[in-house]
Amino acid sequence: MPSRRSLSGDPAAPRPAATLAPGEVEVIQGDPATGMLLLCDHASNAIPPELDALGLPPAQLERHIAYDIGAAEMTRAMARALGAPAVLSNFSRLLIDPNRGLDDPTLVMRLSDGAIVPGNRHIDADGIALRVARYYEPYDAAIGLAIEAALAAGYPPAIIALHSFTPFWKGVARPWHVGVLWDYEGRLARPLIAALQQEGDLVVGDNEPYHGGLPGDTIDRHVTRRGLADALIEVRQDLIAGDATARDWGVRLARIVAPCVSALAAA
């Protein structure tokens, strides 16, 4: 079974993501021979106490603007089922979004889905640089270390990034249960989409509800330049809002993804 540790290497028992110290990176150890590395960019809604929740009421931190609801528990369950390594962020995307390039204007959101973020409203370049150093760079470094460890072991990893999306956007219902985002050749994403469609009970998005290929994002920084296979999986949040349903989806995705990665490795 994979183990969980902080970036420092100290063992830590599983804890609710929001109570982990912001800036810590959750790394789940796994077998590189699985040929996979799981990533969860928006795993937590944690904000350090000294930032006073960025001036937001608690209800706002439970929304999708703060993290990808259900994605962390789904990722952990998938890692356990596969025996695969995983890296999860442990800070709110409202502090800084690790799935953005450093030059992206949405790196630190001042306004997110109608919510003004008071703690970000007047942040300057020095303030952003501090958050880059405390949160963004440790998470980014942990991903790089995990990839290099797999490569050194002789198993170039397929990168599976796990996210979740809202059931409605601007009042319009989103019909997809799950979507796969991809760019370039889609050598893992396309067979994965087909495998999800074969389940028979899923509405599957092909580059829906978003399009893959955001310059400077996690995949672009770590995967594209190395020529690794990848797929970004988005699951609708109402399907994984509870821990039990998130774990069920993690196990289900593990069952579906594993043959796709094996076939890719054998090709």
* Confidence (pLDDT) at 213: 79
The stretch 254-258 carries a mean pLDDT of 98
Encode pLDDT of 198-231 as tens digits.
Answer: 999 999 999 999 888 788 999 999 998 899 999 9
Q: What mean pLDDT is predicted for residues 182-195?
A: 93
Q: Exposure string (b/e) for 181-195, b if CB count within 10 Å is 16 or more?
A: bbbeebbbbebbbeb
Neighbours of 213 (CB within 10 A): 15
SS3 for 163-181 is EEECCEECCEECCCCEEEE
Q: Is the pTM of this model over 0.75?
A: yes
Each residue of 160-188: pLDDT tens digit?
999 999 999 888 999 999 999 998 789 99
Give the span between the Cα atoms of 221 and 155, in whole angstroms: 19
Q: What is the pLDDT of residues 30-55, one digit of tens each?
A: 999 999 999 999 999 999 999 999 99
| Cβ 264 vs Cβ 187: under 8 Å | yes
Q: Which amino acid is at 140?
A: D
Answer yes or no: are the C-beta atoms of 204 and 178 closer than 8 Å: yes
pLDDT at 197 over 70: yes
Query: Is 188 in contact with 217 (CB distance < 8 Å)?
Result: no
Between CA 219 and CA 222 the distance in angstroms is 5
User: Average of pLDDT values for 132-157?
Assistant: 97
Residue 214: the pLDDT is 85
